[in-house]
Amino acid sequence: MTSNPGGTWPHAPGFIVGDRPKIVTSRFEYEDSYTLQRYLATDGYAGLRAALGRPASDVHDEVKNATVLGRGGAGFPAGNKWGLTPQGVWPRYLVVNGDESEPGTYKDRLLMERDPHQLIEGCLIACYAAGLSQCFLYIRGEMALAQERVAEALNEAYAAGYVGKNILGSKFSVDIVLHWGAGAYVVGEETALIESLEGNRGMPRLKPPF
């Protein structure tokens, strides 16, 4: 077995700290990182523009081939998850889990507080690739600043034509609905979150095998 000059084994997950460009956190250094003005000044919504210029299936394939993984702990491939959307069945929605109820976990909260437009743009691209027109963004009840920043950003995005009808002059339309949780730990589980969204007690559903 030989070592890898890059510092990690070729087929094992690994991270090199200090010499990789920031991606998700690249705007965090700006005091106004949560505003539309700053987002547009740093190439914000450029990904959405590029996506809308291509067939939705191409966008989905690119995400799948890039092996983008979820950051919730399981590392489930995002492209595979988008591909699970049932075809020819309506209504169907994108549900974004911003409840983040695990103790000591703040990655989602930081993103929503400091760069909410990045979250919104990701929602829009996912909706386009999966053929969806409605998104529900569920945010944990204790995250007051995150709720405020996301709500402000969403208002900016609607006013600027990045969310709503015929986005950026295209035939693509999406509405994003914000929903505040009540702080229940169990609502971080996907089926419990859906129950809460539907106005029921946030308890997990039975899933097969029962």
| CATH code of residue 85 | 3.40.50.11540
Look over the chain and give the mean of its residue pLDDT values, rounded to a whole number: 87
Tell me how far apart the alpha carbons of residues 206 and 210 are, in angstroms, rounded to a whole number.
Answer: 6
Provide, rounded to the nearest whole percent, the portion of the chain with pLDDT above 90.
56
Question: Can you give the residue range of the structural domain that contains 188?
Answer: 36-197
Does the pLDDT at position 16 exceed 90? Answer: no
What's the structural domain count of the chain? 1
Q: Which residue has the higher pLDDT, 188 or 152?
A: 152
pLDDT for residue 9: 47
Q: What is the pLDDT of residues 88-122, one digit of tens each?
A: 888 899 999 998 877 778 889 999 999 999 999 99
Stated length of the chain? 210
Q: Answer whether residue 17 is part of any domain.
A: no
Rounded to the nearest 5°, which phi and psi values hold at 208? -65, 150
Residue 1 domain flag? no
pLDDT tens digit sequence for 52-95:
999 999 999 999 998 888 776 778 888 888 888 888 888 899 99
In a domain, 122, yes or no: yes
Is residue 13 a part of any domain in this protein? no
Q: What is the tens place of the pLDDT at every residue in 34-48? A: 999 999 999 999 999
Do 116 and 108 meet the contact criterion of CB atoms below 8 Å apart?
no
H-assigned helices in the chain: 36-41, 46-52, 56-65, 78-83, 107-114, 116-130, 144-160, 190-197
Half-sphere exposure of 86 (CA within 13 A, CB side): 6
